[in-house]
Chain A
């Protein structure tokens, strides 16, 4: 069984924001909601690095642990999804998430946030695969069509890798062997347990 993971190669990411745009377009995400974002560290100085970040689909997902209505579930592929019919928009998942992944369509007084939205690894939600309801609530379900997440597919420098953790790790290891240097599997220590391969 595959264990889906994201990996962003900081040596390759050029901060083009293509992944952000691809994601927004593919899933028709509402205004103000960005399931994925690119962060540049040491911007404009030597050693600058960029990282594309979204929900990492953690092994022991903090969002799922703190959700008062228990609306999260992990698929057989290790993808963390949630049920918007149950979500009450309390924002606890946002407090708990280390990556700032959960997004809310509104941010108003009296804690009015609307239902949480986040990266689905292009795997939709609990609705029937590729149904109109699924598209409306969670966006496209590319995995059901046998495709991988669009952000990684669109990445011009192939910095962002998405897929089975073993294969992603193999590709990355190959790169490291060729170009030298230390591996920087950014975010993996935070998101994935050592035992979870």
Chain B
């Protein structure tokens, strides 16, 4: 038995070796093929995934995403080169051609009508009892700043309005070539004048803040709309009256919106996306139109609307009668009757130059 087993051993060993080699060869050939099993399974998975997507129409989803501004890759460089469709322009166009032009234009016309009606009905607000004695009201610096900001603002308004309403109003008058020549001038003037304007405007807003804090008597002034409504025709007012203070704060906050949005429009080279430019344009136009509207009222009241105001801003001094009538608290303060308030740089009484 022993001998037999010994003699069989090499034979069985050889068989085992043969089988092993054959098996490993078979496996070596078969194993890579298992990739197909995994692949088929994957395909089946992918197909079931596709079938799922098909239910919601994957292709329409794909193009809907593009419609909503999905960004792809483009070898052409530039901001947003990879965006196929940007839909914000449609909203911007509708806002600009619709509400912006309609409400902006209506506001300007409404202000002009209000001015006309006021002037025809109430007429110029005269100084009741002019004294001929003058009080210093606006310093040379204040006046220079005011006129600097005022003149640049008017130029910016005209050039800005030309771009918004010129096509409808000026092309019929000047023709396309004529208006294009004007617009070609307007645009750079508007752009380059913006910075000097901002410097003056921001400075003016900052240094005039202390005079424009609203006090309780200002609310009474506003309630009677400066004496138009109610019995009291000359409500109390300090250095600035309630209306002037409200005008100031509208300029302040409207001005911030105007300057910030203008900054974005002025520097397209900093790589803003279209959405930013569209939003900035709407904010800039809307705040600009609003400020132009109230400035028309300011210009009227400061010139032919109320006697004595323009004198103060041109010569720097006003009639005592004007001060008593429109700024009684400030008048008392100047005369030393009331303590200084309102942050007015207590005008020098000795500076009051009696004339006649």
Contact = CB atoms under 8 A, between A and B. Distances in A.
Interface string A63-93: 0011111110000000000000111111110
A194 interface: no
B313 interface: no
Interface string A15-42: 1010010000000000000100111111
Contacts of A105: none
Given A41-B66, A43-B73, A110-B191, A70 B265 contact: no
A88 to B, nearest CB: 5
Given A89-B187, A100-B80, A184 B63 contact: yes
Given A68-B162, A90-B163, A187-B84, 19 more contacts: A37-B74, A39-B73, A39-B83, A62-B90, A65-B93, A65-B97, A68-B163, A68-B167, A69-B166, A69-B171, A69-B176, A69-B179, A86-B177, A88-B180, A91-B277, A96-B93, A97-B86, A107-B268, A110-B192
B200 interface: no
Nearest to B46: A46
A38 B89 contact: no
A37 B180 contact: no
A159 interface: no
Interface of B: 59-60, 62-63, 66-67, 70, 72-76, 78, 80-87, 89-90, 92-93, 96-97, 162-164, 166-167, 171, 176-177, 179-180, 183-184, 186-188, 191-192, 194, 265-269, 274, 277-278, 281
B177 A88 contact: no
B180 A98 contact: no
Contact of B70 (A17, A41, A71): A41
A4 interface: no
A174 interface: no
Contact of B171 (A62, A70, A98): A70
B85 A190 contact: yes
Contacts of B86: 97-100
A179 interface: no
A87 B179 CA distance: 11
A86 B180 contact: yes
Contact of A17 (B75, B90, B177, B274): B75
Given A70-B176, A111-B266, A98 B85 contact: yes
A39 B84 contact: yes
Nearest to A70: B167
15 contacts: A38-B74, A66-B92, A68-B167, A71-B180, A86-B180, A92-B281, A96-B92, A99-B85, A99-B86, A100-B83, A109-B267, A111-B191, A112-B188, A182-B60, A190-B67
Given A20-B76, A86-B177, A53 B274 contact: no
A69 B85 contact: no
B187 A67 contact: no
A152 interface: no
A182 B274 contact: no
Contact of B187 (A34, A41, A88): A88
Contacts of B82: 39
A53 B267 CA distance: 27
